[in-house]
């Protein structure tokens, strides 16, 4: 009984984690790219890296919190422009190749020893060095608070204040996406996804709309990078190809071209992995399956789950097959 109680508490802890919120925000941005516009961005982790480091480096150089956020947004938008201008006129796979390559170049650059005094190199930068201004904005009193069985410091590293900020941003970006997609602008995006030539025949410029979508989704990815850095550290390897792969799994699991798909997908992705590793560690003898092997088993089962999802429900859990089925 203690195991199941502890597991439920761990599931809640994982679902409310700032890291989960960071993946939700990055997946919302990818949803604008792929789900609503049809852009094959395979480098969303690159936007997270640009936005995260843009914020962190700005704050560490004495820039105020909100100007640092604006710099982060500008850096993510510039990255989207540099990627999008030469590629969005071409077939979708060209954008995929460029984005994954650019994201890896950025990650390797951030790891360079020559600029480790700026980026922290492979070890990254601890959040205690750049979140004083965020802590100062906290309305919470000093000390710890227990809520829903979870006990954290009110303000500090890996605290309630980070969780409030992170999930408030998730709610804000979900609302922004809902408003954008219901607007005439959003309907043009869907039209480009379905039939670009038809949209062009109506006098609209698919190039301009695709670029706008790439910038908006990229800026959201940058916010995901900021939130990911708050609990502990920002480091380049935390925003690698595996991160982009996980964001895609989250989006496809929850349902592309849906508003709540990224939210549901992220929570399921992290909670299911936790349940598999916890149950395997508890009920399978260590002589048959140690903790590391249980983690590998969780990834294998998640991969199988994604394959079954693609085969039997390609639109994801919340998706509508009539609107989007990515293997049709």
Q: What are the tens digits of pLDDT across the range 295-313?
A: 888 888 888 888 888 888 8
Range of the domain at 167: 19-126+154-323
Residue 57 placed within a domain:
yes
Residue 5 placed within a domain:
no
Angle in degrees, CA 203, 219, 303, rounded to 5: 100
Three-state DSSP class for residue 125: strand
Q: Mean per-residue pLDDT for 26-48?
A: 94
Residue 138 placed within a domain:
no
Residue 37 placed within a domain:
yes
User: What pLDDT sits at residue 29?
Assistant: 97
Residue 33 placed within a domain:
yes
Residue 122 placed within a domain:
yes
pLDDT in tens, 180-197: 999 999 999 999 998 888
Task: Provide the CATH number for the domain around residue 52.
Answer: 1.10.3470
Residue 131 placed within a domain:
no
* H-state helical runs in the chain: 2-15, 18-30, 44-60, 65-84, 92-111, 116-119, 132-136, 160-182, 184-194, 196-201, 206-229, 241-254, 261-283, 291-312
User: What pLDDT sits at residue 318?
Assistant: 87
Assign 324 a pLDDT band (cuts: 50, 70, 90): low
Q: Mean per-residue pLDDT for 78-102?
A: 87
Angle in degrees, CA 295, 20, 77, rounded to 5: 120
Assign 287 a pLDDT band (cuts: 50, 70, 90): confident
User: What pLDDT sits at residue 93?
Assistant: 78
Say how many domains are in the chain.
Answer: 1
Residue 45 placed within a domain:
yes
Contact status, residue 56 vs residue 235, Cβ threshold 8 Å: no
């Amino acid at each position: 009984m203690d195991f199941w109680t502890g597991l439920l508490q761990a599931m809640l802890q994982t679902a409310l984690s700032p890291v989960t919120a960071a993946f939700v925000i990055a997946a919302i941005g990818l949803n604008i790219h792929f789900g609503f516009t049809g852009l094959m961005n395979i480098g969303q982790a690159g936007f997270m890296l640009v936005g995260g480091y843009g914020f962190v480096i700005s704050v560490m150089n004495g820039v105020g919190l909100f100007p640092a956020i604006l710099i982060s947004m500008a850096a993510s938008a510039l990255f989207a422009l540099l990627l999008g201008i030469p590629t969005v006129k071409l077939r979708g796979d060209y954008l995929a190749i460029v984005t994954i390559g650019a994201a890896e170049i950025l990650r390797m650059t951030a790891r360079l020893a020559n600029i480790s005094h700026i980026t922290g190199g492979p070890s990254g930068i601890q959040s205690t060095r750049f979140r004083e201004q965020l802590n100062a904005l906290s309305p919470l009193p000093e000390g710890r608070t227990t809520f829903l069985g979870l006990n954290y410091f009110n303000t500090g590293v890996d605290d309630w204040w980070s969780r409030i900020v992170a999930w408030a941003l998730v709610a804000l970006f979900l609302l922004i996406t809902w408003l954008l997609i219901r607007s005439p602008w959003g309907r043009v995006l869907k039209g480009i996804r379905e039939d670009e030539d038809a949209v062009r025949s109506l006098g609209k410029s698919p190039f301009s709309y695709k670029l706008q979508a790439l910038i908006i989704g990229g800026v959201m990815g940058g916010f995901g990078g900021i939130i990911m850095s708050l609990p502990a550290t920002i480091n380049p390897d935390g925003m690698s190809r595996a991160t982009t792969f996980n964001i895609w799994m989250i989006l496809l699991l929850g349902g592309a071209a849906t508003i709540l798909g990224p939210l549901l997908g992220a929570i399921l992705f992290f909670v299911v992995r936790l349940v598999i590793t916890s149950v395997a560690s508890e009920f399978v003898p260590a002589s048959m399956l140690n903790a590391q092997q249980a983690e590998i088993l969780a990834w294998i089962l998640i991969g199988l789950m994604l394959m079954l999802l693609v085969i039997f429900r390609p639109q994801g859990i919340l998706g509508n097959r009539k609107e989007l089925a990515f293997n049709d």
